Structure 1
Amino acid sequence: MPTRPTWLSHDGRINLEQQRKRAKALLQHLKNGAAPDGLSLISRGPSFASPTLSDAQWLIARELGFSSWPKLKAHVDAVEFAARHPDFEASDEARTVHWRCGNDIAHSLQLAGFKGSFQMLTDPLCMGPVQDLPAEAYRALRGQFISQAFGMAVGDTTRRLDDEYTHLKLLGSADHSVLWCEADAYDQLFLIRALAGLERLPPKLELIEVDRVPGIQRFIGIGQLAPDVLAWLWPQRRPVDEEALLLARQAWLAYCDASPVALAKLAHSPHDALPFLAPALLRQLQELPGVRDGLSLTERLALQVINEAGSMPFARVFAELMGKREPLPFLGDIMFHAMLRPLIDTPHPLLIESEGHLEWPRRLLTITELGKQVLSGAAYWLEHATHERWVGGICIRSGQPHWGIDQQALPVWCESFSDS
């Protein structure tokens, strides 16, 4: 099954001594009137006519996401304290179960001093058909999709799903469970799936949610964090309440619906109980066909990258997308590869894949003339596509009326291609 991204490098730890040295070097640049471009863009606070070391430290702190140097130092001290006192910060118990939508933090939790067990649900709910079905039919549906999308044996996929969902049922009776989530659609869909399956709140269910970590300019996911930073996150957990449970049930049913109307209503409204849910649902809505070109946002961004480069290896397209262009990264590399196959494996492709003897990450992608026309809005992708596509419970078939999304991220029913 697909895994969380593994190409991330920044783990959230900040070396204060290194930043002090950077500040001293920056001070000399400021005195010479030659601050690096990235830092000069935020030099709007203090006057730098006669720069001081404090000015340089303030700029470094701002670059790392802090409002001041003392706050940067306080954060570093807090993380170092968590590392020195894992039994104090990571105060879980052997009965605690840590839940995650992948195995990316399993080893780091152990290194940080956590004592509880680890469970995961790897079902990539942001892809393929997701419908409100009885348990056996639901698992069969998801197993078939995962097998086809990722080239896995149906039996292996089904056994893994059965095992994971059987463990998930125990969430309702566990003494103490903690859900580790970030703000993207992959995690937030896992969160509402887990909560929606509960008949009632268990004795102690807690949630750790994070959309940014100080010192990381582009936070992608919890899996990139060092063990001591996970320990620093631990005290920030909060209990899951009835309001969150009811919201999750509502959101799950909306996501499974064949119409995006209810989902869009949730996506365009803030929710205090689950504050990251609406942006994630909004991003998922953008996987519906755009009314101008018939592309999902992921497809559109990928075509833009390749069109600008001429030709580019699969892996570099993914890195460019996740590192710079994707507004709310939620895909692993294998998931991205599966999403682009329908643009390649069709009689009228938008992309040509070359260097087929290489592993797929190294194969070159080149945009076709039709791809350029679709990207410009001169052609509509669903007039040429051959693959069925799903966004939750919404099915999009080529040549048939379908749901689309407009520039305000509002759903539009397209009776014919002229509506687009």
Structure 2
Amino acid sequence: MPNKLHIVNGDAFGDKLRVSGIDGDILVWRESLYEGPIGMQMSDSVLLSIRAAYMNLQHGIPEELFKSITLQQEKAMDRLAEDIDEIVLWFEHDLYDQLMLCYLLSRLFALPNPSLKLSLLSINQFPGVEFFHGLGQLNVDQITQLHDKWLPVNEDQLLLACKVWTAYSASEPLLMATLLEEDLSALPFLQKALQANSERYPSSQNGLSANQQLILELIGEEEMPILSLFKRVSQTASHYGLGDLQFWAIVDSIRKCEIPLVRLAGGDKLPVYGEPLPPHFEEWRLQRSDTGKLVHAGEQDHIYLNGMNDWIGGVHLLGKKGLWRRNAATTGFLKM
């Protein structure tokens, strides 16, 4: 019998797939490729050190643990050509998964095994699931229904994935802007995912990313429980695939800055990697500051006030001026 490997995102789904009866081994890919510095070769020692330091600062992930997991995954990928006949990739529609899918397809395309069969199962809905946000929602019986529903990966999909990863790894967003004007239908969920990626850049109007703007908008004039806010943002911006750690980091980007745009009542430190939710966390609330109201209305500029130090793919956004921004009038980018 041919040796089959399923590559999935998330241990919760991987555990269910193991008991579903679907044949094949399972490799869970544990990475968040829409955070931190990105390059063409993710195992590069210099990049990996910078990336591990970023994840430690952002989420409290121990640097050596992050490096170890990354290198283990990359080595497993390098060995795939040795004893695997077919690989099935299971990935969803959101930015989190689509970036991971493009990276893995670009890596698999480079493997020295022309006879390796690649298949893909990529969905954005499932019958009976009213609000589908991920494969991890499905129970074992539902997962079993997806057996053999995957389709062969074709050359157009592989070439497109390579173009996406090259553009995403670039130190300027211009390749990505050009790519967004092209036909991306070979991977049907890619267009919306890459548009979401562009919305991570600060706006030319007030310096906020789309999710920062959404947070201020949903809070409104009163206070809002932070868990309720997380649920609302996750539903409204489901095409990002935000996890809780990513959401806390976005909140902190407008809370722990020089001139805060939001205030947190109930506690001071949001959870990091490996920590349980604090006691009475359901009572913690967020409120816009006076400056936050002005920035939300476009009367002040978050970047000019607070600057930033963050990465979007290979683009390092550092400082208060001369940063790449999302052009509010077009789909392109400008420096200001």
Match of 2:194 in 1: 281
Could you list the runs of 4 or more consecutive aligned residues of structure 1 that deviate by over 6 angstroms after TM superposition? none
Paired residues for 1:348-367 under 5 Å: 348-356=259-267, 359=278, 361-362=281-282, 363-367=284-288
Q: 1:169 to 1:339 in 2, by over 3 A?
A: farther
Q: Deviations over 1:2-27 (max 9, x none)?
A: xxxxxxxxxxxxxxxxxxxxxxxxxx
Q: 1:409 to 1:159 in 2, by over 3 A?
A: farther
Question: Could you tell me which of 240, 256, 262 is aligned with 1:345?
Answer: 256
RMSD of aligned alpha carbons: 2.1
Contact 1:259 1:393 in 2 (8 A): yes
Contact 1:264 1:282 in 2 (8 A): no
Match of 2:129 in 1: 216
Length, aligned pairs only: 321
Q: 1:247 to 1:171 in 2, by over 3 A?
A: farther
- Higher mean C-alpha deviation, range 402-411 or range 216-225: 402-411
Deviation at 1:172, TM superposition (A): 4.2
Match of 1:164 in 2: 73
In structure 1, how many angstroms separate the alpha carbons of the residues matched to 2:183 and 2:264?
41
Q: Deviations over 1:39-73 (max 9, x none)?
A: xxxxxxxxxxxxxxxxxxxxxxxxxxxxxxxxxxx
In structure 2, how many angstroms separate the alpha carbons of the residues matched to 1:408 and 1:104?
41
Q: 1:94 to 1:397 in 2, by over 3 A?
A: same
Deviation at 1:278, TM superposition (A): 1.8
In structure 2, how many angstroms separate the alpha carbons of the residues matched to 1:348 and 1:172?
52
Q: 1:270 to 1:215 in 2, by over 3 A?
A: farther
1:122 matched to 2:33 = no
Match of 1:75 in 2: none
Deviation at 1:216, TM superposition (A): 2.5
In structure 1, how many angstroms separate the alpha carbons of the residues matched to 2:240 and 2:135?
12
Match of 2:232 in 1: 320
Contact 1:126 1:186 in 2 (8 A): yes
Match of 1:249 in 2: 162
Deviation at 1:180, TM superposition (A): 0.3
Match of 2:271 in 1: none
Paired residues for 1:261-340 under 5 Å: 261-308=174-221, 310-323=222-235, 325-326=236-237, 328-340=239-251
Match of 1:399 in 2: 320
Match of 1:106 in 2: 14
In structure 2, how many angstroms separate the alpha carbons of the residues matched to 1:407 and 1:281?
16
Contact 2:177 2:333 in 1 (8 A): no
Match of 2:274 in 1: none
Match of 1:147 in 2: 56
In structure 1, how many angstroms separate the alpha carbons of the residues matched to 2:62 and 2:150?
38
Look at both structures and tell me which one has the larger radius of gyration over its CA atoms: 1
Helix, strand or coil for the counterpart of 1:112? coil
Helix, strand or coil for the counterpart of 2:88? strand
Deviation at 1:408, TM superposition (A): 5.4
Deviation at 1:220, TM superposition (A): 0.7
Helix, strand or coil for the counterpart of 1:397? strand
Contact 1:266 1:278 in 2 (8 A): no
Paired residues for 1:9-48 under 5 Å: none
Match of 1:196 in 2: 106
Amino acid at match of 1:316: S
Q: 1:327 to 1:158 in 2, by over 3 A?
A: closer
Match of 2:272 in 1: none
Q: Deviations over 1:289-313 (max 9, x none)?
A: 11111111111111111125x1122
Deviation at 1:265, TM superposition (A): 2.5
Helix, strand or coil for the counterpart of 2:207? coil
Q: Deviations over 1:190-234 (max 9, x none)?
A: 011111123155511111010112223321111111212212222
Deviation at 1:409, TM superposition (A): 5.5
Contact 1:268 1:282 in 2 (8 A): no
In structure 1, how many angstroms separate the alpha carbons of the residues matched to 2:307 and 2:174?
26
Q: 1:102 to 1:327 in 2, by over 3 A?
A: closer
Q: 1:409 to 1:236 in 2, by over 3 A?
A: farther
Question: Could you tell me which of 90, 97, 116 is aligned with 1:180?
Answer: 90
Helix, strand or coil for the counterpart of 1:236? coil
1:373 matched to 2:286 = no
Contact 1:306 1:312 in 2 (8 A): yes
In structure 1, how many angstroms separate the alpha carbons of the residues matched to 2:61 and 2:209?
25
Contact 2:92 2:135 in 1 (8 A): yes
Helix, strand or coil for the counterpart of 1:118? strand
Give % identity: 26
Contact 1:94 1:115 in 2 (8 A): no
In structure 2, how many angstroms separate the alpha carbons of the residues matched to 1:412 and 1:284?
12
Contact 1:181 1:187 in 2 (8 A): yes
Contact 2:38 2:169 in 1 (8 A): yes
Helix, strand or coil for the counterpart of 2:70? helix
Structure 1: stretches of 5+ with no match in the other structure: 1-92, 416-420
Helix, strand or coil for the counterpart of 1:128? coil
Deviation at 1:376, TM superposition (A): 0.5
1:131 matched to 2:39 = yes
Deviation at 1:247, TM superposition (A): 1.0
Deviation at 1:284, TM superposition (A): 0.7
